[in-house]
Amino acid sequence: MLNPLDALRSGTYSLIDVRTDDEYQQDHINGSLHIPHTQILDYTEQINQLPEPRILYCRSGARSAMALQLLQQSGVSGLFNAGGISDMRELLQDAGVSGH
């Protein structure tokens, strides 16, 4: 699997925002899939169909870490915790991905 920076540069990746509905509506990264961390296991099958790496983010990185652990325990692979939304934006900027 490519590292997330290389994957972002290649254009093959999935962004998953695991914050609450309110947080997502206030601000989110264009193109991200919104699945609150409290519902993440309800979407295991759909997440497994997404391109890898599947990059998770939240506000600070704590909820995305919890969601990643739950998904791994359910057999989902190709996951990466980007941390908070500002970290994710920085990673996208470092990769030269615009529009976020």
Residue 82 has pLDDT above 90, yes or no: yes
Confidence of residue 100 (pLDDT cuts 50, 70, 90): low
Q: Decide: pTM greater than 0.75.
A: yes
Q: How far, in Å, CA of 22 to CA of 35, rounded?
A: 12
Q: Are 34 and 17 in contact (CB under 8 A)?
A: yes
- Say if 99 falls within a structural domain: no
Domain-located, residue 100: no
pLDDT band at 31 (very low <50, low <70, confident <90, very high): very high
**Which CATH number is 22's domain given?**
3.40.250.10
SS3 category, 95: coil
Determine contact, residues 51/13, Cβ cutoff 8 Å.
yes
Residue 85 lies in a domain: yes
**Count of structural domains, the chain:** 1
pLDDT grade for 2, boundaries at 50, 70 and 90:
low
Structural contact between residues 33 and 17, judged by C-beta atoms closer than 8 angstroms: yes
Domain that holds residue 72: 4-94
Burial 69-89 (b: 16+ CB within 10 A, else e): eebeeeebebbbbbbbbebbe
On average, the pLDDT of the chain sits at: 94
